[in-house]
Amino acid sequence: MSILDFLSGQFIDVIEWTDDTRDTLVYRFERHGHEIKYGAKLTVREGQAAVFIHEGQLADVFMPGLYMLETNNMPVMTTLQHWDHGFKSPFKSEIYFVSTTRMTDLKWGTKNPITLRDPEFGPVRLRAFGTYTIKVADPGRFLTEIVGTDGEFTRDEIQYQIRNMIVQSASRSLASSRIPVLDMAANTDDLGKIVADQISATTAEYGLIVPELYIENISLPPAVEEALDKRTSMGVLGDLHKYQQYATAEAMQDAAKTPNSGMGAGLGMGMGMGMAQQMANPGPWGAAPAQAPAAPPPPPVEHVWHVAEGGQTKGPFSKARLGRMVTDGEITRETYVWTQGQDGWKKADDVDELAQLFTVMPPPPPPGI
């Protein structure tokens, strides 16, 4: 090797990292013996940070830019400062590149159902899942607290820990929210922010932040969902007796199209026996016997109410509980309330069902008594 090639190798050194993996958080720049040459050019691109480790200790953190490693205050000892060692410096340094871009589309979900008490259904079990993003906010702390000497640290090595933190916080938030199950879909945005705030202190100790956290779905067990679907279907069908009559008439019409079939014959026999029985037991004036009276409708479902006070939501409360709160002076006619199915918050005095609570109080006694 010529002297020019030798000197060129000593004077020219470019330190950079171009990442094409999309999941690498930390990459250690490899150099033989970890020697950094005097006058080396350090290129830190947008979305990166470079961390210098000198003799096993964190020396400096470089943000995006172009740096010349040639000043005396750099924590790097180069070969040109030690001619007596024959270009072999006894001081070693390492450079770790840290990605500061957001790692997106990370998944989280509850392994086991979350048990909570719903004001309408009673004890229920829920599952929740969604996505989140992470970002390195403090490269030096992240390197010292999490990465250590790992030369290529990927997001898979940290996302499970973050996911467990999210699941624990989500379970606690859902169980303590007191939001009815049927209203949780409208509150997933607020619940996601609460979970992100609760884990922010712990992630900050790792040098990380969670800029986005989404709750995509909150689901009930399959058996409960099936029962809820049946309940919804009953509400859509309305009068089940009329629906049964309609279904029977439809079946008769289908059977009439195939009169030679066994089903058609059976239906015809059944209709004949029904007509004979009706003729043998006529009602008054030859009319058919009156139908049995319809069953009374089910009792109405009692509403539960939420109360807005001081920028916070309290409840749910039953109507009886609100009555005691009126007596105790805890709510007034101007207090805003909300219940399921109501279009926005309203003053208690503007809700017919609650306005009567303020009229049961006796008037003040007449003067002189």
Q: What domain count does the chain have?
A: 3
Q: CA-to-CA distance for 337 and 73, rounded, in angstroms?
A: 66
Quote the pLDDT of residue 3: 43
Quote the pLDDT of residue 282: 54
**Cα 133–Cα 135–Cα 137 angle in degrees, nearest 5:** 150
Measured N-to-C along each axis, helices 240-256 and 262-280 cross at an angle, to the nearest 10 degrees, of: 120
Structure tokens at 121: 């259904």
**One domain for residues 78 and 151:** no
246-295 pLDDT, tens digit per residue, is: 667 777 777 666 655 555 555 555 555 555 555 555 555 444 455 666 66
Q: Is residue 256 part of a domain?
A: no
CATH of the domain at 351: 3.30.1490
Stretches in the chain below the pLDDT threshold 70? 1-12, 32-34, 38, 70-92, 231, 233-243, 246-247, 255-295, 297-301, 360-365, 368-369
Q: Is residue 117 part of a domain?
A: yes
Quote the pLDDT of residue 293: 67
**One domain for residues 69 and 119:** no
**One domain for residues 207 and 317:** no
Q: Is residue 54 part of a domain?
A: yes
281-334 pLDDT, tens digit per residue, is: 555 544 445 566 666 766 666 778 889 888 888 888 888 888 888 888 888 888
Q: Is residue 208 part of a domain?
A: yes
**Contact yes or no for 35/80 (Cβ under 8 A):** no
Quote the pLDDT of residue 98: 94
User: Last residue of some domain: 59, 82, 99?
Assistant: 99
Place of tokens 């950094």: 36
Omega prior to 289 cis, within 30 of 0: no
CA 287 distance to own-chain centroid:
63
